[in-house]
Amino acid sequence: MGIMEQKILIVDDEPDILELIEYHLKKEGYQVFLASNGHEGIHVAKQVHPDLIILDIMMPKMDGIEACRLMRAIPEFKNTFMVFLTARSEEYSEIAGFNVGADDYIAKPIKPRALVSRINAILRRNLSDKDLVESKLEIGDLVIDREAFLVFQNGEKVTLAKKEFELLHLLATKPGKVYTREAILKNVWEDSVVVTNRTIDVHIRKLREKLGDNYVTTVKGVGYKFELANEKAIPNS
């Protein structure tokens, strides 16, 4: 699928913001669709099936957090890229966004060139992901299907947000290897300038909530690694 076929939905209650983002993304060749609140955004998304959704957080009728949460519960949007756009810099807004399954977080005021660069990077990666043909990764009681973006634990499907999946896959590809926070940011979030170390902590916590504490180990002061609980070294007595 080329860039001309990729669809982006922008959901924001500020007409000037919609117009600005629409203008620059159309110049890049994307198909752009607009909505002015979360409720309308869900309706439009069901009609056009966008590849990426940009959601403002503070909106009337239904805010971006609730809209993202509801869409993530719909199977067809489980792997759709969702990016929050907000003027609010409070830490809780970012954490709330990632908790409901956001893939990225872009702050206002918008810098068009930076925004377009970030969107291009996200969707280029999405295209390359779809072209990957990899066997399933089977580790202990986990099966990680990179091509289908699915995880099974003891045969039961575990629903992960896209970035949660990518983080798990990165760590599980090389069990025992310690990934620094900088390496995780580079591999999972690429060149995003708004993602912080706290973002990694949120995603690690969500993985542990969904899979249990037996897989991702914290290496204090360094980073994280994938290590099955029953394969960890036993200290000499």
Query: What is the identity of the amino acid at 152?
Result: F
Is the CATH number 1.10.10.10 carried by domain 137-231? Answer: yes
> What is residue 4's predicted lDDT score, i.e. its pLDDT?
55
> What is residue 132's predicted lDDT score, i.e. its pLDDT?
43
Where residue 1 falls among pLDDT bands split at 50, 70, 90?
very low
CA-to-CA dists, residue 93 to 63, 96, 110, 143, 222, angstroms? 12, 5, 17, 32, 26
Mean pLDDT of the chain: 82
pLDDT, tens digit, 9 for 90 and up, residues 20-77? 999 999 999 999 999 999 999 999 999 999 999 999 988 888 988 899 989 988 888 8
CATH of domain 3-131: 3.40.50.2300
Q: In the 8-state DSSP scheme, what is residue 75?
A: G
Q: Which tops the pLDDT comparison, 105 or 233? A: 105
Q: What is the mean predicted confidence (pLDDT) over 125-129?
A: 55
Where residue 204 falls among pLDDT bands split at 50, 70, 90?
very high
> What is residue 191's predicted lDDT score, i.e. its pLDDT?
58
pTM attached to this predicted model = 0.58
Rounded to whole angstroms, how far apart are CA atoms 227 and 204? Answer: 14
Q: What is the mean predicted confidence (pLDDT) over 99-125?
A: 81
- Using CB atoms within 10 A of its CB, is residue 34 exposed (0-12), middle (13-18) or buried (19+)? middle
Q: What is the mean predicted confidence (pLDDT) over 128-142?
A: 65
Residue 207 has pLDDT above 90, yes or no: yes
Residue 228 has pLDDT above 50, yes or no: yes
Q: Which residue has the tokens 């199977």?
A: 75
Where residue 126 falls among pLDDT bands split at 50, 70, 90?
low
Q: Helices 181-188 and 162-173, interaxial angle, to 10°?
A: 120
- Using CB atoms within 10 A of its CB, is residue 237 exposed (0-12), middle (13-18) or buried (19+)? exposed
Rounded to whole angstroms, how far apart are CA atoms 97 and 199? Answer: 10
Q: Which two tokens stand for residue 124?
A: 């280029």
Domains of the chain, by residue range, sit at 3-131, 137-231
Rounded to whole angstroms, how far apart are CA atoms 146 and 154? Answer: 17
Where residue 93 falls among pLDDT bands split at 50, 70, 90?
low
> What is residue 234's predicted lDDT score, i.e. its pLDDT?
35
Query: What is the identity of the amino acid at 120?
Result: N
Name the E strands within 49-196. 52-56, 81-86, 104-107, 137-139, 142-145, 150-153, 156-158, 179-180
Q: Which tops the pLDDT comparison, 93 or 185? A: 185
